[in-house]
Every structure is written in C-alpha cells, then in structure tokens.
DNA sequence: TTAACATTCCAACAATAATTAGAATGATTA
DNA sequence: TAATCATTCTAATTATTGTTGGAATGTTAA
C-alpha cells in the first residue's frame, strides 16, 4: 500500500535530521567542543575561528535537532549537549571515519607525536599506573573544561600555563598528556614542550568523550 | 598558527564525509536494507521504491565513503556493508533520533502493534524463553535475509508465505515476530495476521543489527 | 532611561546536493 | 557476433544548505 511508503518516508526523514547535524565539518567541531562542557556562542566562535553569526546559525541546527540545550546566564547564552549519547555518537562517527578513510589516517599521522602515542590497548594499564602514581596524567585543556569533566587521577595544567608551571611536574616519571581528543593539537604541543625540557612525555589521543565510550565497553 | 587551522579543517572534513552519508533519508533506508545482507542495485531499488539510477547514485556516495563494498557476480553487482560498525552506527543514530525527536516518537506510535511491543528491557528473558521453547521467535523477512543472519533460535517464515504456512506455528505458545528493524512494517503485518487467526503474537522491534548492538553492551 | 553587549532573526547570494534523462560500459545469453 | 541486461557515468536542472550583512531582541550596567 502507498500509505506504508509514506510512513517510512517520515521515519527516515526524522532520523536524517540527526544525520544532517553530523554532515558539516564546522558543526562537528562545535560538537567536539561542546563535549568538553557548556560554552557560550562567543567562546565557541573564538575557539573554532568561525564567525559569531555563522556559529549561531550552526548552533541553531543543533538546537532544532534537539541535540543541544541552551541556558541564559546573564548576558550570555550557554550551550550544552542535550545528552551524553550525543558525545557517544560523535566518538563513534569519528572512530568509524578513522577506520574507514585512508585520507583521515594519513592526515592524523602528520599530527601524531612521534614515536608512538597511547593507543586503546593499554587504557587499563594506564589507569593502573596512574592510580599507583607511577605516571602523571596531565590535562592541558583550559581549567573550565577540566572542571566540567576529566580523566581519573588527572592533574590540570592548561597549555598556556605549562611553561611557567613545569616545576610542578616530576622528571622521574612519565607524563601522559591529553586534551580534547584526537583532533585537538594541545596535547601534541604539550608533549613537544615537555620533551624539550627533558621530561618523559607521552601523547594520549583520547579526550573525555573517547575515554567514556571506551570505558563503557 | 594558521597551519593548525588548516590541519583541523582537513580532519573534520574527512569525518563529515561519513556524516554526510547518514544525512539523507534515502541513503539511510539503503543502509538499513544492507544491514540485512548483501543485495543488488535492482533489489535495493525495488525494496525502497527508489529509481535504479538514483539508487546507484546514492550507493556511489556510500562507496566513496568506503562504507560499502561491491562484488560482481555474473550480471549483477552486489553491495554489502564494508564493516559491522557501519550497521552499529546506523543503530546508534536511529536510537538517538528516537530518544531526542518527539516527532519520530509520534510517528513510531502510529505503527506500533497494540498494545505493547517488546522493549529492550526483556531481551534476556526472551532468549531464555526461546531457548526453552516456551516462545517461538519468528523471522518474517525474505529467506535470503534470514540466511545471511538471524536472531538466535529464530524460525524463518517470510511474510508472503505466512498465511499458507500458519499450520507450522503452535497456538499454545507466544510467537514473537521480528523483521528488519523498527522502521520495517513486516513484523507488524505478521502480528496482525497471527492475532486474527487466533495466535498469541508479539511484535519485537529489533532487527539483527539492533539485536547485535544490544547484545554487545 | 540609555548605552553597551551577546545573540538571534531575516533576507540575499553562493555553494553543494538530489534528481532525472541519455549515453556508455561490461558481462551474459542466443 | 549481436542482442540483452544490469549498472554506472555525464551532464543538466532543481532543491537544499552554507554564508554573510543588517536589523531586531533581550539583558545588564551606568
């Protein structure tokens, strides 16, 4: 019957609304930032180098798909992900992309800290070592993002303050630095700085969203 | 530095290639069908009521995103998902859509078999009952799809043959019918037929992809 | 109340994607 | 070998999205 076709069209149409949100590079970057905690339009605009107006327009798309919520606090409007599963979906999509697209693998190799960054296989051993204090897990994101959520046992030193605060870190233990996720360059920069200064530093590709997904498997 | 911006743009651009695939209703329908097993262009076109040319064009998008693989068998070209995780992503996207979009919830209510269809909470108890033979799990999809993959303990009777083969089913036990997933109407039709004929029938919303995701949690 | 600010809404234009028709390819059957 | 079939490729047309600038909204601070 023709009616069935009609109903099905409606169903797929609705699901595609969610897919559309994840089909634009700029929106993906906004989503990744929102995975770090709630943020104002201005902050999102600045961090992504997208104009405020265009940021607002993209956020509107996210809002209309009910993937983000807004809250007014004084002059500013804060955006946050409507549900943890939005972050999960971002992680699953970029993971699939990394597995399937050679082009992405090549682009990622360019920014990988040599020789090897931390890979999924040893998340458990990393936690064990962090618990015992054998390694220092270092969060180099801005303080607000650390406060919103961070990895277990992590210590916060934002990248901009790292050079001044080097003395807080031990030279006799490995330092595992992480930031917003595999597409964020802050941890890479931190590791380079630390190595120059004689520390043993390792780059963990995970951000909090990636870690959360991996931990729940 | 400007270079960093450039690299990041490339990365999100690549991930968006995957997102784009999931941003069109027609492609979603094709993906859902491909979750049931490999199929020819002609079959996909017929099952979705999309013209062959347009089906081919959409499949081209899937191919260019490396989400499907093709194999020539005689005259026909068979398409199949390149990886199980593509099916997983489809499940996660439509699940998120169902959780976030009221419009989708309403549309789904229209096609839900009354009073209640099987919900995620009792997957384990369903399997227990199926193992003991207390319920019959009935797969009403075409035979090829059943052969490609099916739920544990499931029995295959395609919807078109169901009326003729009713005698194969017991009247003293519940029959749990499933098909391609929550957007497929075959199980609903099967349940309606079975109830008319005096059977105790229940509609399971899961297809094999949904079941696989739920089972691995 | 006014000024300043953050953000959104509206309208226009540019860029990209969806759809269709016609020609081309490559395998099979007569 | 020619004819047929399934499928893709190319090009043209239409529909949808992305982007930008200017006006409008709602909030705070003077």
Tokens of B34: 């491909």
Give the pLDDT confidence of B36-53 residue by residue, as tens digits: 999 999 999 999 999 999
- Cβ neighbours of B66 in A, within 8 Å: 100-102
A48 strand C contact, CB < 7 Å: no
Give the pLDDT confidence of A17-64 residue by residue, as tens digits: 999 999 999 999 999 999 999 999 999 999 999 999 999 999 999 999
Helix (H) or strand (E) holding B8: helix B2-21
**Predicted model pTM:** 0.94
Give buried/exposed letters for A81-117 (b at 16+ CB in 10 A, else e): bbbebbbbbbbbbbbbbbebbeebeebbeebebeeeb
Q: What value does the CA radius of gyration of chain A take, rounded to a whole number of Å?
A: 19
For position B121, what pLDDT does the model report? Answer: 61
A110 strand D contact, CB < 7 Å: no
- Cβ neighbours of B26 in A, within 8 Å: 12
Contact B96 A103 (CB under 8 A): no
Give the pLDDT confidence of B54-73 residue by residue, as tens digits: 999 999 999 999 999 999 99
Q: How many other CB atoms are there within 10 angstroms of residue A48's CB atom? A: 19
């Amino acid at each position: 019957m023709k009616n069935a076709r009609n109903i099905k069209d409606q169903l797929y149409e609705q699901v595609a609304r969610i897919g559309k949100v994840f089909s634009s590079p700029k929106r993906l970057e906004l989503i990744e930032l929102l995975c770090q905690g709630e943020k104002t339009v201005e902050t999102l605009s600045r961090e992504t180098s997208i104009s405020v107006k265009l940021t607002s327009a993209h956020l509107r798309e996210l809002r209309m798909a009910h993937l983000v919520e807004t809250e007014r606090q004084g002059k500013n409007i804060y955006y946050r992900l409507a549900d943890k599963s939005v972050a999960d979906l971002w992680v699953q999509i970029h993971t699939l992309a990394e597995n399937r697209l050679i082009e992405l693998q090549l682009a990622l190799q360019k920014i990988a800290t040599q020789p090897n960054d931390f890979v999924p296989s040893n998340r458990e051993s990393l936690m064990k070592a962090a618990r015992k204090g054998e390694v220092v897990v270092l969060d180099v994101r801005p303080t607000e993002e650390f406060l919103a959520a961070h990895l277990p046992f992590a210590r916060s030193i934002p990248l901009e303050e790292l050079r001044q605060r080097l003395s807080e870190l031990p030279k006799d233990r490995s330092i595992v630095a992480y930031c917003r996720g595999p597409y964020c360059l802050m941890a890479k920069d931190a590791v380079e700085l630390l190595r120059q200064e004689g520390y043993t530093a390792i780059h963990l590709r995970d951000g909090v969203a990636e870690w959360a997904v991996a931990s729940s498997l």
